[in-house]
Amino acid sequence: MTPARLLAWRPGPVRSTDYKIGPPLLESIADLSWIVGRCRDGRFFSVFAVNLRRVPRPARRRLVRFVMDYTVRISSGRPAPLVSAMNATIDLGPEALAAAAAAHPELPGDLRSDHAGEAGAVMIYRGILAGSGDLAVREFARAHMLAEQRHLDIMEAILRPGQRSLLLPLWRLAGWLTGFLPALAGARAVYATIDAVETFVDHHYEAQIRKLPAAGLAGELRSVLITCQADEVHHRDDARARRTDANGMLLRLWTKTVAVGSQSAVAAARRI
């Protein structure tokens, strides 16, 4: 394909109705179909970027995240759980949250702590990437950071800004340090840290899941939490499988500190 032909090519008009077809996973497939359908004459690679830039930003983000996430999972050979609840689009406005809290008084605080935890989790993996030059560790961090970012996106769709923890900057900083410091010490410290963090998160989600019924709005939230928990368990098991020996005294002290710190952060996020 010549540069002149590429410049002469124009994508078709973008219609808002192209993206209102159901859950985000189906929307991602529709986004990809929209792009491929406009790559005429077999010019897929040469016009893909041009098409992608014309797709509305929310749809583009969904598509890029979808492709990156599952490319990493397939190439790593360690696919994490895929549950339809990850496509949840629950939006708890003030009235809906108040109604849910009437039946489940601890729910607002629990969701606030969940959002804060997912924000911190993304920063843990960013801290690991900032501190580690080990290729295996970096691949591990990138793969799991995608899942944590997806969790955070879902929690941000559930909770509006005014319903979130006021201490989010602190949780982000704490998360980044929790990833960065062990990354300086090496792969064993990174995997031990993730093992400790995700073990706590598994128990944290399990306690919430047991309190929620399977029906109604609470049931939808319960499905989301079950799916997030499954991903966190996968992260823990992956980290545990990569460890080659037992923790030394200093590493045991560090992981204990991480577990206690996580518990304190959750308690604070529930209230503030």
CATH number at residue 141: 1.20.910
User: Is residue 77 in a domain?
Assistant: no
> In this structure, are 59 and 93 located in the same domain?
no
Q: Are residues 130 and 185 in the same domain?
A: yes
pLDDT at position 122 = 95
Signed CA dihedral, 97, 103, 105, 106: sign only? negative
- Decide if 69 is inside a domain: no
**Do 109 and 185 reside in the same domain of the chain?**
yes
Same domain, 36 and 133: no
Residues 250 and 146 in one domain: yes
Q: Is residue 228 part of a domain?
A: yes
Q: Give the CA distances from residue 127 to residues 25, 53, 69, 172, in Å, rounded to whole numbers and listed in that order.
A: 29, 30, 19, 10
Q: Residue 2 falls within a domain, yes or no?
A: no
Mutual angle of helices 135-158 and 216-242, in 10-degree steps: 170
Same domain, 31 and 93: no
Same domain, 202 and 258: yes
pLDDT for residue 106: 82
Is 115 a member of any domain? yes
Residue 82 covered by a domain: no
Give the DSSP per-residue string, the chain.
--HHHHHH--PPPP-GGGG-SSSHHHHHHHHHHHHHHT-GGG-HHHHHHHHHHHS-HHHHHHHHHHHHHHHHHHHHT-PPP--GGGG----B-HHHHHHHHHH-TTHHHHHHHHHHHHHHHHHHHHHHHHH---HHHHHHHHHHHHHHHHHHHHHHHHB-GGGS-TTHHHHHHHHHHHHHHHHHH-HHHHHHHHHHHHHHHHHHHHHHHHHS-SSHHHHHHHHHHHHHHHHHHHHHHHHHHH--S---HHHHHHHHHHHHHHHHHHHHHHH-
Q: 205 near 222, Cβ under 8 Å?
A: no
Domain that holds residue 181: 88-271
Domain count, the chain: 2
Q: Determine the Cα angle at 133 with ends 129 and 116, to 5°.
A: 15
58 with 92, same domain? no
pLDDT value of residue 14: 37
Q: Which of 63, 78, 96 is the last residue of a domain?
A: 63
Residue 4 placed within a domain: no
Residue at 83 is within a domain: no
pLDDT of the residue at 44: 43
What pTM does this model have? 0.66
Residues 119 and 22 in one domain: no
Same domain, 30 and 100: no
Report pLDDT for 176.
96
| The pLDDT value given to residue 211 | 87
Residue 217 pLDDT = 77
- pLDDT value at position 107? 83
pLDDT score recorded for residue 20:
35
Same domain, 205 and 128: yes
User: In this predicted structure, what is the pLDDT of residue 175?
Assistant: 95
Assess whether 106 and 55 both reside in one domain. no
pLDDT in 10s for each residue of the chain, 272 residues = 343 443 343 434 333 333 333 334 444 444 444 444 444 444 444 444 555 555 566 666 666 665 555 454 444 444 343 333 344 455 555 566 666 666 677 888 989 999 999 999 999 999 999 999 999 999 999 999 999 999 998 888 888 888 899 999 999 999 999 999 999 999 999 999 999 999 999 999 999 999 888 877 778 888 889 989 999 999 999 999 998 777 788 999 999 999 999 999 999 998 98
